[in-house]
Homo-oligomer: A and B are copies of this chain.
C-alpha cells in the first residue's frame, strides 16, 4: 500500500503538504502542487478512506434504505440517487430491507457509523421508532412524514396525480370510477384515495368508489380484477402499475377488453407501464429526479452550507397510453 509518506518522499515535501495538495490545492504553490500530483500519479496513490474517515469524523458516503430494490419504483429512485451522489463526490450504500421493519431497524443501526447520513424511503418503521432514528442521525425521509414535522422529508404530491387521473377519465366521459387500493398501512394509499375523492368531487357527476385493498403487486391486481368490475364502473384506477398489470392479465383471461370494456389507469408510471398490451396509462413523478432531490437535501444538510429549504412536493403527471378511452355507452 502506498501512503502519504511515499508520495512525500518522492516529491521531496512533507506529508502535510501532500495532504494539503489533495484536500486544498489552492493552499500550496503551483510548483509543489504539480510536483506532488506527479508523484501521486506515478505511485498510483489513493488516500485510505478509513484513515481519512477516522480523522475527519466523516465517511464521505450516504445510505439509501429501500424496502425492495426489485420494485421498479425503488429501482428508479435508486438510479437517481446514485447518479446524484456520485456527482457530488459521495458514495452511496444501498440497503434493501425486504419490506421488514425488523431488518430495517437493524440495518439503520448498523449503518450509523458507516455513513454521514441516510435517506429512508417508504419506511416500514413505526412513528416512534422512526422518530428515534431521525433524532439520532442525519436523515431525510421519502414518502413518509413524521408528526413532529422537524425531519426533512421529500414527498410526491399524490393529490396532483389523483387530479390528473380523474381529470383525464372525466374528460373522456367516465362518470363512475373504481379505485383498487393498496395496503391500508401504506402512507401513499391514504393520500391517493383522499386525492381521488377530492378530485372526483370537483367534476360534476363523477364519483369514485373504493373497491378493496390488495398487496401492491401483480398478484394483488389479479385477485381484485373481478371485484373491480362489480361496481358499474367504466374505468378503474389501480394503486400502482403492478396492480394494474395484474388486473389487465386477469381481465384478458376473463375476456374483458381494455380499453373497450373498461379503461385502466395505473399509478407511478414505472417502466412496466410500457410493457403491457395495451400499454398502460399511468400517473407518476420523475422518480430519478425524485431520488436526486432527496440526495441534494441530505447533502445540503450534511455540508451545512445552506439551511435546507423544505422542498416542494414533486408533482405527478399523466402519461396517456392505450389503456384508456371513452366509455362504450
B-contacting residues of A (Cβ < 8 Å)?
46-51, 53-54, 59, 61, 68-70, 72, 75-76, 78-79, 82-83, 86, 91-96, 98, 103, 107, 109-110, 112-114, 218, 242, 245-246, 248-249, 252-253, 271-272, 274-279
Contact of A113 among B50, B76, B103, B248 (CB under 8 A): B50
> Smallest CB–CB gap between A12 and chain B, Å?
25
Please, which residues of chain B bring their CB within 8 A of the CB of A76?
Answer: 70
- A249 nearest in chain B by CB position: B277
Knowing A49-B114, A50-B59, A96-B79, the reply to whether A277 touches B274 (Cβ < 8 A) is no
Decide if A245 touches B70 in the complex (CB within 8 Å): no
Minimum CB–CB distance for A231 against chain B, Å: 23
How far does the alpha carbon of A306 sit from the alpha carbon of B127 in the complex, in Å? 45
5 contacting pairs across A/B (C-beta < 8 A): A68-B79, A69-B82, A70-B72, A86-B103, A218-B271
- For A64, the closest partner residue in chain B by CB is B94
Query: What distance in Å separates the Cβ of A101 from its nearest Cβ neighbour in chain B?
Result: 15
In the complex with contacts A79-B96, A82-B69, A113-B46, A275-B275 CB distance below 8 A: yes
**A69 touching B75 by the CB < 8 A rule?**
yes
User: Given the complex, which residues of B lie within 8 Å of A272, measured CB to CB?
Assistant: 272, 275
Q: Which residues of B contact A79 (CB under 8 A)?
A: 68-70, 96, 98
